Each structure stands twice: as structure tokens, then as C-alpha cells.
Amino acid sequence: MSGLSLFQQAELFYYQGRINDAFENYRKSIKKILKDENVLAKVPGADIIPDDFPQELLGMVWRNFVGFYRDPKMNFTEESHPEAFRLLNSFRPTAKPHPRLERSARGKVLLKGMQITAGLTLGLLAWDKHDRATAAKRYREALDLAETLPAFTSPPPGTRGMEKYVYGDLQDTKTNLGRLILNDTINAELFGAQTSAGQVPGRRDVADLPVPQVRIDKTGAVTAEPSMAFATTACANCGKRDVKLLRCSSCKTTQYCNGECQRAHWPDHKRTCLGRSSKS
């Protein structure tokens, strides 16, 4: 069967309520197009589909495929559908490239769009598993990749297709990542205030929270978590938290927002930095 036929079959299965069959056919359609077909082929009737739907068949199938992982009414995970998850993970922003999509300018745009939305989906899946650090990392990777193509971050009026789809997706992610950073900042201050040394937890450090953090998963279930692993690291100079900071090239441990913060902190840092460097 062709990629289009598999996509059409998936749509039929979906409307029949055969969710697993639909998902499997979306996966097969993507694989078929990537292996044997024109990756830039348009969806039949592409000129009349909604503005925020990809116009390429591959992009349209991909949009539906990742949607299954995000839908709160479904429970598609790495464990439940490992083969489909491998396909999703193969498009994460830092994965190896897909050569057939890199042969043309439009193919590169389509590839970046798929990589960005894969990163956002992987971030949501990590969040569902309570892995805040990985969730924040995947969000940041997706946002950083999007910044390399202005059409995704600040599309001009009249933009449609993959660019508009990705742009809409990114708005929610910026909110999610901002919320993670804000929560880490507040909780780090509360945690540090209760320790004699005013300890500042870093990424993946686990801390008991003074006030349990309320968490709502994609099914709508609400739980209160008495402890959490931090998703971010704090700059040693200004204290601003983020997922990816610059690491001191000498001691390889202390992290900063930028070179300016590193230079400002050097009078305080140099003694411990030189001591750590001499031991390595």
C-alpha cells in the first residue's frame, strides 16, 4: 500500500473507533513515505485544508501521529507502543538527520518542523512520567531548533501549513517551559531557606518541598507530590535558572548564563575552581 492509502485507511479506522489500528497505519504511512515515496508530495485537496495543517502528506500524517501521544483520552506511551516511540524518538532535535528530507530547501523545513514537534511531544511524555528534567531539556531543544528558522517563531501574515502548525505548537511549549522554570525558582528559594547553607539545588537534584506540588497529568488526575527533581540549574552568579547553561571550562561543574556572569563571578569562584581543576 502507498503512504496515502495507509493514511486514508488510518483515517477510516479512527472514525470507526479502531484507535490502535489507526495509530499503526499512521506509523506505517510515515515509514513508507520516508523510505520509498516523494517526501514533499501534497495532501489531496491541500488548498482547502485548514491553515494550521501541514500541506505535505508526510507532515499531515506526522501531525496526527504525534497527536495520539498527546491526547489525554488516550494512553500511548513508550511502553505501550515501543516501535512507534522509536520512530518518534528518531526525529528528536538532536537525533541523526534523515537524508531524504535534507535534499531540498522545503524538505529541510519539513524536517525541522517534525523535529520540533517530536521534541515537544517527548517533553510531554517525560512530564507524564514525572521526569521534569528531561521534559525541560526536550522543550529547550525544540525551542532552540525553532529559533534557527524565523518562519516558525515569527511567521508573516498569511502563513499556512507546517510553519503555522509548528508556530501554534511552540506557544504552548514556551508557557510550559516557563512554568517549569518558575516553579523551580520558587521551590529552590523555599528549599534553600530551610537549609543552614542556603543550598541551591541543581538539575535532577531531588528536594523535599515545604508545600507539596500539585500535579495534573494528561488524564486529568490530580496528585500532590511531596518531593521533586529539579528541571533546571541556577547560574552561579545571578541565580537565574534555565535548562541549559554554560559550564566553566576549567572545573566543568559551575554553570553560568553567559560569559558576562562568569567573569563577574570569577573573584568568588577562582579558589574553588582552581582547586577542583588541580585534582582532575
* pLDDT, tens digit, 9 for 90 and up, residues 54-103: 999 999 999 999 999 988 778 899 999 999 999 999 999 999 888 999 99
89, 194 Cβ separation under 8 angstroms: no
Where is mean pLDDT largest: 121-130, 149-158, 178-187?
Answer: 149-158
Mean pLDDT over each residue of the chain, to the nearest integer: 84
180, 208, 227: which is the final residue of a domain? 180
- Domain boundaries, position 250: 245-280
70 and 143 fall within a common domain = yes
Q: What is the CATH number of the domain that holds 11?
A: 1.25.40
58, 3 Cβ separation under 8 angstroms: yes
Average pLDDT in the 129-147 region? 86
Of residues 24 and 178, more confidence is placed in 24
Average pLDDT in the 157-178 region? 86
Q: Is residue 195 part of a domain?
A: no
Task: For cell 511502553, name the residue.
Answer: 79
Give the predicted TM-score (pTM) of the model.
0.76
50 and 157 fall within a common domain = yes
Distance of alpha carbon 146 from its chain centroid, rounded? 11
CB atoms within 10 A of CB 82: 9
Helix axes 19-36, 3-15, angle to 10 degrees: 170
Average pLDDT in the 109-134 region? 90
Query: pLDDT band at residue 52, thresholds of 50, 70 and 90?
Result: very high
29 and 138 fall within a common domain = yes
44, 32 Cβ separation under 8 angstroms: no
